[in-house]
């Protein structure tokens, strides 16, 4: 992948992550059975919630100093279906420890939320106990099929993230099983809540039978109305993490 060509904030992050993993092993690692726990959690009736353990971000700066496990348990008690745990350290306050403590202490399946730019990051995700990993089409481009195959080989579900029509086409052609549509343009950080319903409709019109996730920018129950009848799940981070009462925030969102 050509990380030098990725623009804006996203470009800076993926270049840092590429440097972090430069020279690391690229072997696929041992095959593991597909349990599909993350996928199964999103298949529950109604709009499932993936609640994100997120302490900071480029768009919000500091969000909250969270104990990752306490945050995960509050999300779980509030009714979330799955967890997303940031492991990117510089911009999001994430860590390996955050993911591992959440996996060890919470019952819900967890997504490793990071900027996957090297196969070793998928091996780590599996070894740290994640049920799924994020694969961003804006970062992986034509390498998406290879990373998708590697994730599945390691027993991981993959949340394949897209932001526009061209990325959606790549995700569909690669055989993605779970597609997330990000409302946030990761180059400019602008949010457009119409982006998810628009691309989700296009995915269904193209015959996609897998799961569809609406991502980013959701703050209230009313915000979810745009995707309630369209998406299988919604991924919410900042508004929950910064709420001060994470369990209550989940309950209000899902009420
Ligand atoms: O959140 C950011 O500012 C951001 C900036 C650059 C790259 C990625 C970024 N976020 C990743 C995400 O898409 C979100 O963590 C996730 O979808 C939750 O979004 P939100 O509910 O708006 O926190």
Nearest-CA residue for ligand 1 atom 10 is 57
| 30 alpha carbon – ligand 1 mean position (Å) | 31
Residue 225, C-beta contacts closer than 8 angstroms, at least 6 positions apart: none
- Quick check: ipTM above 0.95? yes
Residue 41: enclosing H or E segment and its boundaries?
helix 37-42
Write down the pLDDT at residue 133: 98
Q: Is the CB of 163 under 6 A from ligand 1?
A: no
Residue 50: enclosing H or E segment and its boundaries?
strand 48-53
How do the pLDDT tens digits run along the chain, 255 residues long? Answer: 778 888 889 999 999 999 999 999 999 999 999 999 999 999 999 999 999 999 999 999 999 999 999 999 999 999 999 999 999 999 999 999 999 999 999 999 999 999 999 999 999 999 999 999 999 999 999 999 999 999 999 999 999 999 999 999 999 999 999 999 999 999 899 999 999 999 999 999 999 999 999 999 999 999 999 999 999 999 999 999 999 999 999 999 999
Q: Is the CB of 253 under 6 A from ligand 1?
A: no
Q: Is the CB of 68 under 6 A from ligand 1?
A: no
The residues annotated as belonging to the active site are 52, 54, 113, 161, 182, 215-216
In the three-class reduction of DSSP (H, G, I as helix; E, B as strand; rest coil), residue 13 is classed as: helix
Tokens of 163: 């932001």
Burial bucket for residue 18 (CB in 10 Å: 0-12, 13-18, 19+): middle
Radius of gyration of the chain (CA): 17
Write down the pLDDT at residue 199: 98
Q: Is the dihedral angle over the CA atoms 146, 167, 132, 10 positive or is it negative?
A: positive
Q: Is the CB of 214 under 6 A from ligand 1?
A: no
| 86 alpha carbon – ligand 1 mean position (Å) | 10
Q: Is the CB of 215 under 6 A from ligand 1?
A: yes
| 31 alpha carbon – ligand 1 mean position (Å) | 31
Tokens of 248: 């209550």
Write down the pLDDT at residue 6: 85
Nearest-CA residue for ligand 1 atom 6 is 186
Q: Is the CB of 52 under 6 A from ligand 1?
A: yes
Write down the pLDDT at residue 4: 80
Nearest-CA residue for ligand 1 atom 5 is 58
Nearest-CA residue for ligand 1 atom 14 is 216
| 184 alpha carbon – ligand 1 mean position (Å) | 7
| φ and ψ of 10, to 5 deg | -60, -40
**C-alpha angle 30-31-32 in degrees, rounded to nearest 5:** 115
Task: Evaluate whether 78 touches 50 at the Cβ level (below 8 Å).
Answer: no
Residue 143, C-beta contacts closer than 8 angstroms, at least 6 positions apart: 1
Beta strand 61-62 with 56-57: parallel, antiparallel or unpaired? antiparallel
Per-residue pLDDT reduced to its tens digit, 84-114: 999 999 999 999 999 999 999 999 999 999 9
Nearest-CA residue for ligand 1 atom 15 is 237
| 52 alpha carbon – ligand 1 mean position (Å) | 10
Q: How many residues does the chain have?
A: 255
């Amino acid at each position: 992948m050509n990380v030098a060509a990725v623009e804006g904030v996203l470009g800076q992050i993926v270049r840092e992550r590429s440097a972090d993993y430069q020279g690391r092993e690229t072997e696929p690692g041992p095959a593991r059975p597909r349990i599909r726990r993350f996928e199964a959690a999103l298949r529950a009736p109604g709009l499932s919630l993936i609640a994100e353990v997120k302490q900071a971000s480029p768009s919000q700066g500091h969000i909250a100093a969270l104990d990752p496990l306490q945050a995960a348990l509050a999300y779980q008690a509030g009714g979330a279906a799955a967890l997303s745990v940031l492991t990117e350290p510089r911009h999001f306050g994430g860590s390996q420890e955050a993911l591992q403590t959440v996996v060890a202490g919470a019952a819900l399946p967890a997504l490793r939320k990071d900027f996957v730019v090297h196969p070793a990051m998928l091996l780590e995700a599996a070894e740290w106990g994640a049920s799924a990993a994020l694969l961003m089409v804006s970062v992986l481009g034509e390498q998406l099929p290879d990373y998708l195959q590697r994730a599945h080989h390691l027993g991981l579900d993959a949340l394949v993230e897209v932001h526009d029509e061209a990325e959606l086409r790549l995700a569909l052609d690669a055989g993605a099983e779970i597609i997330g549509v990000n409302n946030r343009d990761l180059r400019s950080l602008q949010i457009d809540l119409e982006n998810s319903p628009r691309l989700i409709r296009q995915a269904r019109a193209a015959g996609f039978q897998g799961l569809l996730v609406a991502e980013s920018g959701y703050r209230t129950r009313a915000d979810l109305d745009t995707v309630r009848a369209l998406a299988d799940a919604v991924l919410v981070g900042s508004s929950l993490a910064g709420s001060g009462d994470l369990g209550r925030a989940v309950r209000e969102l899902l009420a």
